[in-house]
Structure 1
């Protein structure tokens, strides 16, 4: 089981016993406001089950880590990433509403970013639904830079939103190929 530690947090691999947390995260309107519309338990369960198998850098599913307060042992949310292409991954996470705005997102993401660098990833990206100001601030606090806006890329309920894509270089910057 993968375990990451920060000053205030302990992150560990998602296990079957985490279903109540995962379900609650996906049913909280405040948490889901910029993620999904109303989704049913069956769809949430499929997403949960997809994240349960042991994760390796070759996996096609998310590395999903439960974020836990070290002092209280309370589960706060989830954080992790999924490999999109060799050396490149998408990072993401969800926190329960009562734990938002306390720096837990930044602290957990920094641990995940450090782990991504330690396993040799070169870069990370984060996709933020336009209007999610807190998530945009999280990207900036973690060193991500805004790369592009994708107009009308994501639908939540009946409304379409732009995607804001942020990037973070982890490895050495690559030089562009020189013409021969």
Structure 2
């Protein structure tokens, strides 16, 4: 069972049995920086950005998020049992659809945290904000992320060949979509 709490008017909190998710704060810079620099995390997502770009991306996510925000809602994912910060998840709304994304520290890959956190995020977005349309762009070869999306009810809608370059190599973009009609897989 998932619970949905708001710590205060300004900071949202989403809890699952194993995880807590709260909007990113300035104190979360070390995790954010590590996620955007770790080759095991980004190898099928993007080339390592310059430090200035990582800082700008981080700072753009710090303002309090509302449904009318143009910036990403970025949630830090924490293990309830230990309080350890393990990754980020979130979305940004564009043209009525929420584009979702997530990154986890490598030692937490394959433990079901991606699926658990994304399901809770989708439920919260639907219940609290009425969001029904979600999408995700996954780089060809990122099978683990594709599995998370399909477990959460997303379906592959389009493959765009040679769409994105990482490490000098062109990859296809896999476009996933999910329409929520009140039920999350």
Q: Distance in 2 between matches of 1:153 and 1:47?
A: 22
Match of 1:24 among 34, 47, 50: 34
Is the CA contact (8 Å cut-off) linking 1:21 and 1:75 kept in structure 2? Answer: yes
TM-score (norm: length of structure 2):
0.90
> 1:1-180 counterparts in 2 under 5 A?
1-86=11-96, 88-118=97-127, 119-171=129-181
CA drift of 1:157 comes to 2.5
CA drift of 1:100 comes to 0.7
- Which SS does the other structure have where 1:36 is aligned? coil
Q: Distance in 1 between matches of 2:81 and 2:168?
A: 41
CA drift of 1:34 comes to 1.1
- Which SS does the other structure have where 1:92 is aligned? strand
Q: Distance in 1 between matches of 2:92 and 2:18?
A: 24
The 4+ residue runs of structure 1 with deviation greater than 2 A are none
What runs of 5+ residues in structure 2 fail to find an aligned partner? 1-10
What runs of 5+ residues in structure 1 fail to find an aligned partner? 173-180
Is the CA contact (8 Å cut-off) linking 1:66 and 1:79 kept in structure 2? Answer: yes
CA drift of 1:171 comes to 3.2
TM-score (norm: length of structure 1):
0.92
CA drift of 1:116 comes to 1.5
Q: Which has the larger radius of gyration?
A: 1
State the aligned residue count. 171
Is the CA contact (8 Å cut-off) linking 1:38 and 1:157 kept in structure 2? Answer: no
CA drift of 1:154 comes to 1.1
CA drift of 1:40 comes to 1.9
